[in-house]
């Protein structure tokens, strides 16, 4: 991934095969991180969250492509049923580190909750 990043910084381009390889590396890295994650949630995530407020905070982090969006999105897991299928799309995009797709999913959820 670092080699691809340096190539892009020098004005190079990535082929579809390169992008698939980078995605595979990211998937492997995320899987390894999940394996090492603690089995229990930290006490701080056990507090009640307001889904709309959390989504608005999450939206800002996603717009900044900030990795702090991962733990914040996990706080919404307890509200997955209320958020509906949009939550699954959001969680999947964040897990893939696809910030653009996650931002779109987050915007859709905010619009849905705001209209209720």
The 8 Å CB, 24+ separation contacts for 65-69 are 65/99, 69/94, 69/99, 69/102
At residue 46, the pLDDT reads: 42
Query: If we measure between CA atoms, which residue out of 60, 29, 52 comes closest to residue 109?
Result: 52
Provide the terminal-to-terminal Cα distance of the chain, rounded to the nearest Å: 43
At residue 40, the pLDDT reads: 54
Per-residue pLDDT reduced to its tens digit, 55-80: 999 999 999 999 999 999 988 888 88
Per-residue pLDDT reduced to its tens digit, 11-52: 887 776 677 887 888 888 888 888 887 665 444 444 457 899
């Amino acid at each position: 991934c670092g080699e691809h990043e340096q190539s892009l910084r020098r004005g190079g381009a990535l082929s579809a095969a390169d992008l698939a390889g980078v995605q595979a590396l990211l998937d492997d890295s995320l899987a390894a991180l999940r394996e090492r994650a603690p089995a229990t949630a930290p006490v701080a995530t056990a507090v009640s969250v307001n889904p709309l407020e959390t989504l608005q905070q999450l939206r800002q982090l996603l717009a900044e492509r900030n990795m702090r969006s991962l733990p914040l999105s996990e706080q919404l897991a307890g509200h997955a049923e209320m958020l509906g299928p949009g939550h699954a799309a959001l969680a999947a995009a964040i897990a893939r580190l696809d910030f653009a797709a996650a931002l779109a999913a987050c915007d859709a959820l905010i619009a849905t909750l705001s209209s209720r």
